């Protein structure tokens, strides 16, 4: 019996064109990441001479040894993980509850509150007033000094509010209220279990922002034992660059400083890049939040 041949539809010229463009865009995004990786293990002279393209040259791990052997690196990792977990949990909790409250039609004064919230996207209080406020709240040199200033992102709040407005029907809320359900119970038992997409999306946004954040720690922290990884890596890099100015050790230390620059990017970015594929499907769904439904 002859096997049946299933003829698929041939791709059109438009499909091929979009496919080629997509591949080119993918290469544009991936190659810089790949170059940083191979440059971090290549001889810096080969890198700056333009001889490193697709494969590392004269492989060396000196940059990673300098970073990982420094006792400040594990302390920085611990603090960064702590700030990321605590900051993300606080931000997600505040954003979800605020977004749901602003999506309720009966909420009195929500239009005025929305205007005030959007206003903060254009104007802010400034660094000095914010610092004075944080000082009066006794959050200087504490965990709260790192996670409180950016606890709620206005854009994330708007996206969350839009999601609830489009996916939580007023009829469902009214039915729950007829059965004696409060707003809090409705949010916990009905809204949250059906909002996995928005929870994953804003969690990813907040976690990446908190992981990469260093400005709040730079301004509000004085104790180096509480510094996040980014500040420690900055100190290591500056230390290497200052040492490279010494004419007696300029060549050897300059090589190490150049390696540290690339290795620092890999060390700081690797955890986020490793976690992103697991949240990618939620991120793709989250892109369509707020779009026109037809």
Cα torsion 211, 214, 220, 224 to 10°: value is 90
Asked if residue 1 has pLDDT above 50, the reply is no
Per-residue pLDDT tens over the stretch 12-38: 778 788 888 988 888 888 888 888 888
Give me the pLDDT at residue 87, please.
92
Q: What is the mean pLDDT of the chain?
A: 80
pLDDT bin (cut points 50, 70, 90) of residue 7 is low
Task: Report the alpha-carbon distance of residue 153 to residue 131 in Å, rounded.
Answer: 19
Token pair, residue 95, equals 């954003």
The pLDDT value given to residue 83: 92
Average the pLDDT over 183-194 and give the result: 86
User: How high is the pLDDT of residue 294?
Assistant: 39
Q: What is the pTM of this model?
A: 0.78
Report helix, strand or coil for 290: coil
pLDDT at 90 over 90: yes
For residue 6, pLDDT over 70 is answered with no
Q: How far apart are CA 172 and CA 226, in angstroms?
A: 46
Q: Which structure tokens are listed for 15?
A: 């499909």
pLDDT, one tens digit per residue, over 129-177 is 888 988 898 989 988 988 988 888 888 898 888 888 888 887 888 888 8
H-run or E-run covering 209: helix 196-212
The reported pLDDT for the residue numbered 82 is: 92
């Amino acid at each position: 019996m002859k096997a049946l041949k299933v003829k698929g539809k041939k791709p059109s010229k438009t499909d091929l064109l979009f496919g080629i463009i997509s591949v080119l865009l993918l290469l544009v995004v991936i190659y810089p990441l790949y170059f940083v990786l191979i440059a971090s293990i290549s001889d810096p002279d080969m890198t700056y001479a333009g001889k490193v393209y697709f494969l590392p040259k004269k492989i060396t791990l000196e940059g990673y040894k300098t970073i990982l052997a420094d006792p400040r690196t594990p302390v920085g990792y611990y603090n960064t993980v702590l700030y990321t977990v605590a900051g993300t949990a606080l931000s997600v909790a505040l954003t979800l509850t605020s977004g749901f409250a602003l999506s309720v039609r009966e909420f009195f004064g929500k239009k005025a509150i929305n205007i005030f919230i959007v206003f903060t996207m254009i104007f802010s209080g400034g660094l000095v007033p914010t610092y004075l406020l944080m000082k009066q709240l006794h959050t200087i040199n504490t965990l709260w000094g790192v996670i409180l200033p950016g606890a709620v992102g206005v854009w994330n709040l708007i996206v969350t509010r839009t999601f609830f407005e489009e996916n939580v029907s007023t009829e469902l809320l009214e039915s729950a209220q007829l059965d004696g359900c409060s707003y809090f119970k409705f949010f916990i038992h009905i809204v949250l279990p059906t909002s996995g997409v928005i929870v994953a999306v804003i969690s990813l946004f907040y976690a990446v922002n908190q992981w990469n954040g260093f400005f709040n720690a730079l301004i509000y922290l004085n104790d180096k034992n509480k510094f996040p990884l980014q500040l420690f890596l900055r100190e290591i890099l500056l230390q290497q660059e200052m040492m490279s100015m010494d004419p007696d050790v300029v060549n050897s230390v300059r090589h190490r400083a150049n390696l540290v620059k690339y290795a620092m990017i890999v060390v700081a970015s690797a955890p986020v890049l490793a976690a992103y594929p697991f949240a990618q499907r939620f991120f793709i769904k989250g892109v369509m939040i707020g779009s026109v439904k037809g």
